[in-house]
Amino acid sequence: MRTGFAKRGDFLPFSRPTIRQLEIDEVVDTLRSGWITTGPKAERFEKDFAAYTGFPHALALSSATAGQHIGLIALGVKPGDEVITTPMTWASTVNMIEVARATPVFVDIHRATLQIDESRLEAAVTPRTVGIIPVHYAGAPADMDPILDVARRHGLWVFEDAAHGVGCRYKGTHVGCYDRLGVFSFHPIKNMTTAEGGVLVTQDDELARTLRALRFHGLEKQAWNRYAEGGSPQVEIVLPGFKYNFMDMQAALGIHQLASVGEFNARRRELSSLYDKLLAEVPEIEPLAIPRYDHFHTRHLYVIKVLESAGVTRDRLIAELKVRNVGTGIHFRAVHTQPYYAARYPHWVGALPVAEWVSERLCSIPLFPLMSEDDVRYVVAAIKDVLVSAGGAGAPARK
Ligand SMILES: *Cc1c(COP(=O)(O)O)cnc(C)c1O
């Protein structure tokens, strides 16, 4: 069957960072300055990030995963503790629970939004539970009020995974620290980038002090200019720390990315609205629903679910889109189905039906600020072409 579809000549990736002359000049300036690792730009970036989110402490790090690692240590997680989280996340969220020798406890998700299902949270709490890690999935916030309510009633901490959430608000407040701690990521596919990087936010001075030492070799007092004139080369190790510091090379990108993240997010929202409109005509494809509670969505990912009526599997759709020069991503394969976790915790396999159902059916289609409206139209035309070529149900009825 013909749809008048014409394949584009170049490949449209699923994501691409917005790197402008501004960032390039700042990186070059850093290279020439003599301070290429943690220094004045990293310090400025942390101040800017704290001001942007409204939290008193922002600790920049080599990655969000590094933040998840030292965050759990600083919260005092011990072997045998249970930490509740969602299976619909990047593996690092669960890997770091495992690295802390604690036990991940999964709570299933909402099929419509893929956010953790807060109504199932309470049933997952046991006497060993110490905390909850909600994920603000795809740029929308998890429903924090009921989550915080369960946490308060059981004396649990909440450590938000806000890797997708720079600019995301829940009931008027920036996500990241409704309770003890939160982490953001600046990996190149995220809403702003520092190549690799992340930041921990907290309102707790004591926790911030511990995290600062854990981040850099266990040094409590850190002065980037200790080798400079007037600085002191003496250091004191107060605990065995890691080396997760954030370089000025990264901050050079981050300072300008953060200043523009509002524009980037606005563009993502425009492009997403166009997808919403165009995909409304494709009933075989189910886009993510928008949560009903008050929030500001940063549209980090445009996730679709490939329904049975499509006549193609998700994997086939991905392969066929690639043939049509469209890149896709999978965010995420439910973590408990990954080989390590399925072998270590076999009782979870089959126990999280919603996450398992979507895990087989979801994919992320291209969404990044440099895309054009025509790119969005092309992606939707390519999806329709795949469905028609597959002879999926409903295909003949479409114009
Ligand atoms: C990207 C991501 C992380 C990890 O971020 P890094 O900076 O790559 O370590 C953690 N959680 C979620 C949900 C993510 O998408």
Give the CA-trace dihedral at 68, 71, 72, 73, to 10 degrees.
130
Q: What is the pLDDT of residue 398?
A: 43
CA distance 291 to 46: 30
Name which residue leads in pLDDT, 269 or 1. 269
Q: What is the pLDDT of residue 399?
A: 39
252 contacts: CB under 8 Å, gap ≥ 6: 23, 26, 27, 29, 30, 41
Neighbours of 173 (CB within 10 A): 13
Residue 160 Cβ inside 6 Å of ligand 1? The answer reads: no
User: How far does the centroid of ligand 1 lie from the alpha carbon of residue 63, in Å?
Assistant: 8
Residue range 67-83, pLDDT digits in tens: 999 999 999 999 999 99
| Encoded tokens for 210 | 């511990």
For CA atoms 136, 142, 148, 154, the dihedral sign is: negative
Name which residue leads in pLDDT, 296 or 230. 296
The CATH architecture assigned to 261-390 reads Alpha-Beta Complex (3.90)
If 0-12 CB within 10 Å is exposed, 13-18 middle and 19+ buried, where does residue 6 land? exposed
| Encoded tokens for 60 | 């920049």
pLDDT at residue 395 is higher than 60: no
Q: What is the pLDDT of residue 1?
A: 53
The pick from 15, 65, 115 for probing ligand 1's pocket by mutation, whose C-beta has the most ligand atoms within 8 angstroms, reads 65
pLDDT above 70 coverage of the chain, percent: 95
User: How far does the centroid of ligand 1 lie from the alpha carbon of residue 64, in Å?
Assistant: 6
Distances (CA, A) of 229 to 44, 124, 233: 21, 56, 10
Residue range 215-250, pLDDT digits in tens: 999 998 766 667 666 777 788 999 999 999 999 999
How far the first Cα of the chain sits from its last, in Å, is 12
Region for 86 from its dihedrals, namely left if φ exceeds 0, alpha if ψ lies in -120 to 50, beta otherwise? beta
| Encoded tokens for 239 | 């605990």
Residue nearest to atom 5 of ligand 1 (CA): 64
Name which residue leads in pLDDT, 183 or 227. 183
Residue 343 banded pLDDT, cuts 50, 70, 90: very high
Q: What is the pLDDT of residue 391?
A: 79
Of 176, 218, 222, 178, give the one whose Cα is nearest residue 199.
176
Please give the DSSP secondary-structure letter assigned to residue 62.
Answer: S
Residue range 84-135, pLDDT digits in tens: 999 999 999 999 999 999 999 999 999 999 999 999 999 999 999 999 999 9
CA distance 302 to 376: 11
What does the mean pLDDT of the chain come to? 95
The pick from 92, 190, 196 for probing ligand 1's pocket by mutation, whose C-beta has the most ligand atoms within 8 angstroms, reads 92
Q: Is 7 a catalytic residue?
A: no
Residue range 301-336, pLDDT digits in tens: 999 999 999 999 999 999 999 999 999 999 999 999
Q: What is the pLDDT of residue 352?
A: 98
DSSP H/E element including 362? strand 362-365
User: How far does the centroid of ligand 1 lie from the alpha carbon of residue 337, in Å?
Assistant: 18
Of 116, 134, 133, give the one whose Cα is nearest residue 354.
116
User: How far does the centroid of ligand 1 lie from the alpha carbon of residue 22, in Å?
Assistant: 26
Residue nearest to atom 8 of ligand 1 (CA): 187
Q: What is the pTM of this model?
A: 0.96
pLDDT above 90 coverage of the chain, percent: 92
The full set of domain ranges for the chain reads: 21-257, 261-390
CATH 3.40.640.10 describes domain 21-257? yes
Q: What is the pLDDT of residue 231?
A: 73
Query: Strand pairing partners for 173?
Result: 170
Residue 3 banded pLDDT, cuts 50, 70, 90: low
Catalytic residue among 190, 243, 305, 399: 190
